[in-house]
Chains A and B, each alone.
Chain A
Amino acid sequence: MNIKEYIESGILELYVYGALEESESKEVKKKIDLHPELQAEVEAIELALHRLASGTASYLPATNYAKIKAQLFKSNQSKSKIVRLLPVIGYAAGLSLFITLSGIFYVENQSVKQELEQIVNTKERIELENERLVSLEQEYQSKIEFLTDKNTKAIFLSGQGNYQESFAQAFFNTKENKVVIDLKNLPEAPNGMVYQLWSLKLNPLTPTSLGLLKPATKNSFVAINLKPNLTTEALGITLEPAGGSATPTLERLYTLGKV
């Protein structure tokens, strides 16, 4: 192989860019290992590109270094690059005055760095909070869309028997086959008990369980998807042992409403 021709072909530049296919790169690497001239050429090309890229970059603040280091070496978060460099600079200069000054600058630099870190932390917290609010807003939007949809019907489930004070509201979308229940006016389910929602067909009375009502928080709504082809003439809520029951316990029928 003619080394000079190989260099002049321009393949080594492409090799350093990473612009060659993997198989081509492997070939180039084999040749480099055999010929030191190629190795030297590749290093020179790389150095030029390295300098070019560094030259185009803006100033990289020391906080960047500190942040990466904190991520990688959790135990040594505050150890800074300057700590590492200071002794070297100090000895090289051999001037105690310089060391003193460096010390002062170091202390100042550390406090500025700490302040900066705090600001960055605050910024990150605010960003997280903002993300949370944005997703909450989207959640509200989709709820409002559901509630105001023309196929959504509001159903009032009034208190029954001993539970006259209780009531619940259901929002039933017949097209999406979805029902959303607002439970906040039911007493909190006692330990070991759970509210269960029933779809009722009236003549003859046929209950079908629609599922357990477990709100994430006291005030949140519970959404339940219904099976298609299920005729629902009324919705009822009973209190059942944890896990729910196969048939409703009518003595603990809290609320009922006709669709």
Chain B
Amino acid sequence: MTQDELVALINKKDEQAFDYLYDMYAQSLFGVIENIIKNKAQSEDVLQEVMVKIWKNLPQYDPEKGRFFTWIVNIARNSAIDKYRSKAYKKERKNLDANNFVHSIATHASLNSQTNAIGLERFIKKLKPTCIKIIDLLFFKGFTHKEASENLEIPLGTLKTRNRACIHELRNLLQVK
């Protein structure tokens, strides 16, 4: 199913549509949330909020502004960051826990019902450390490319091409051609 078809289906707002949404995206959104909050129970709470928010705000999704996946990941990140701040840490997003997604995979691998997680960990560790850092900031933590370029002290153009190479490597590892 293409994303447009999915969005059209979800817009019907029946239960089957919700099931599609959940089946397709709950797990990856949970991954994004857990990466920020690092607490399973609280992440579950946030995921519930996020799924409800997506469902209710669906009419506001504008395909001209970006991918559906981008839109929902953004909702997940923002909700997770709100939750994280409300825990009175009151830190800037830039100070989000230094642990990145590699750490999450390692922690969760033994608990994960998806058998591919262990495999995933093995693959991801093959990524260069700079790639892990770049993907972590841009994808999981939701930095803009300008923020990430400042944070990593890499010029904008270089960051763009380096990130491209990292995603290319990730695709090879995950066999997404």
Contact = CB atoms under 8 A, between A and B. Distances in A.
Contact of A53 (B29, B66, B164): B29
A15 interface: yes
Interface stretch (B79-87, B89-97, B101-109): B101-109
Chain A interface category by residue count:
35 or more
B59 to A, nearest CB: 15
A44 B171 contact: yes
Given A14-B138, A48-B171, A56-B108, A68 B176 contact: no
B52 A60 contact: no
Given A18-B74, A58-B111, A64 B44 contact: yes
B105 A55 contact: yes
B20 to A, nearest CB: 11
Given A10-B163, A19-B145, A52 B114 contact: no
B34 A58 contact: yes
Of B3, B27, B107, B162, chain A has the most CB atoms within 10 Å of the CB of B27
Given A47-B176, A58-B40, A76-B15, A19 B144 contact: yes
Given A53-B31, A57-B27, A64-B47, A25 B116 contact: no
B145 to A, nearest CB: 5
A28 to B, nearest CB: 8
Contacts of A65: 22, 26
Contact of B48 (A21, A53, A56, A67): A67
B164 A29 contact: no
B177 A44 contact: yes
Interface in B124-159: 124, 135, 138-140, 142-145, 148
Contacts, number: 171
Chain B interface category by residue count:
35 or more
B74 A14 contact: no
A182 interface: no
Contacts of B101: 52-53, 56
Interface of B is mostly: helix
Interface of A is mostly: helix
A12 to B, nearest CB: 8
A59 B18 contact: no
B69 A19 contact: no
A99 interface: no
Contacts of B139: 17, 49, 52-53
B157 to A, nearest CB: 9
A58 B31 CA distance: 7
Nearest to B70: A18
A54 B51 CA distance: 15
B11 interface: no
25 contacts: A11-B160, A13-B163, A13-B167, A15-B67, A16-B69, A18-B66, A46-B67, A48-B171, A49-B170, A50-B28, A51-B176, A53-B27, A55-B105, A55-B116, A55-B124, A56-B35, A56-B104, A57-B27, A57-B28, A58-B112, A60-B47, A65-B26, A68-B48, A72-B18, A81-B22
Interface of A: 8-11, 13-22, 25-26, 29, 42-61, 64-65, 67-69, 71-73, 76, 79, 81, 84
